[in-house]
Amino acid sequence: MTLRLGDTAPDFEQDSSIGKLHFYDWAGDSWVVLFSHPADFTPVCTTELGLTAKLKPEFDKRNVKAIALSVDPAEQHRKWISDIEDTQKTVVGFPIIADQDMKVSKMYDMIHPEQSATATVRSLFIIDPKKKVRLIITYPMSTGRNFDEVLRVIDALQLTDGYTVATPGNWKDGDDVIIPMTVQDPEELKKKYPKGFTAARPYLRVTPQPNK
């Protein structure tokens, strides 16, 4: 199964480090960052899960829940969490799915046979409260993720859901944003963008971030 942007994220029940987990029930009305790992007790994964744990206050501010996955068993996840907490000096406050039968990995297309027939690649999905897939990033097994980018994209998605704007390259929260070409009526422009805008070209109109 291949997931694409805008698809409904598949629901599932699977064992995890916190026991049996029903994904939709667990997610509730939150945004979700679902990300996979090739295996437990591996160095890159250990740093990533530690970093995710440390970002909990930032996720909480954005109404985001994090959940990890690997194909190792739940008991091994729990042992690994002790290592993560010890070496990364943090508390892992999110579950790790124990996808031993690779059910979830296959649902979310996390097994890439040319990389490994059993271990997941580093896939990451941002899923909104309506359970729609809003972002997919896939890294090779050897490359750790940039979680600053994950937070940046969540900020952009939440901003553009609330306002008729787009975000330029390298945008960060607080930077100017772009007025989409779909907005052309002068009265609508005044109403939607009361801070005004500058136009380098008719198609390139920049306005201050509306919620700042």
Please report the pLDDT score of residue 144 as a whole number. 86
More confident call, 211 vs 140: 211
Average of per-residue pLDDT across 196-201:
96
Query: Would you list the domain boundaries of the chain?
Result: 13-144, 163-207
Residue 1 has pLDDT above 70, yes or no: no
C-beta neighbour count of 76 within 10 angstroms: 17
pLDDT for the residue numbered 120: 53
Convert the chain into a string of H (helix), E (strand) and C (coil): CCCCCCCECCCCEECECCCCEEHHHHHCCCEEEEEECCCCCCHHHHHHHHHHHHCHHHHHHCCEEEEEEECCCHHHHHHHHHHHHHHHCCCCCCCEEECCCCHHHHHCCCCCCCCCCCCCCEEEEEECCCCEEEEEEEECCCCCCCHHHHHHHHHHHHHHHHCCCECCCCCCCCCCEECCCCCCCHHHHHHHCCCCCEEEECCEEEECCCCC
Q: Tell me what pLDDT residue 131 has.
A: 98
Q: 127 pLDDT exceeds 90?
A: yes
Two tokens at 2? 């291949």
Positions marked catalytic = 45
Separation in Å, CA 14 to CA 21, 80, 137: 5, 18, 23
CA distance 20 to 16: 6
pLDDT in tens, 54-92: 999 999 999 999 999 998 999 999 999 999 999 999 999
> What value does the mean pLDDT take over residues 47-59?
96
Residue 47: predicted pLDDT: 95
At position 114, the amino acid (one-letter code) is E
Query: What integer pLDDT is reported at residue 117 of this predicted model?
Result: 46
Q: Is the pLDDT of residue 111 over 80?
A: no
Q: 13-144 domain in CATH 3.40.30.10? A: yes
* Residue 116 clears pLDDT 60, i.e. is over it: no
Report the chain's mean pLDDT, rounded to a whole number.
93
Q: What is the mean pLDDT of residues 22-38?
A: 96
Give me the mean pLDDT over the 20-48 stretch.
Answer: 94
Q: What percent of the chain has pLDDT over 70?
A: 95
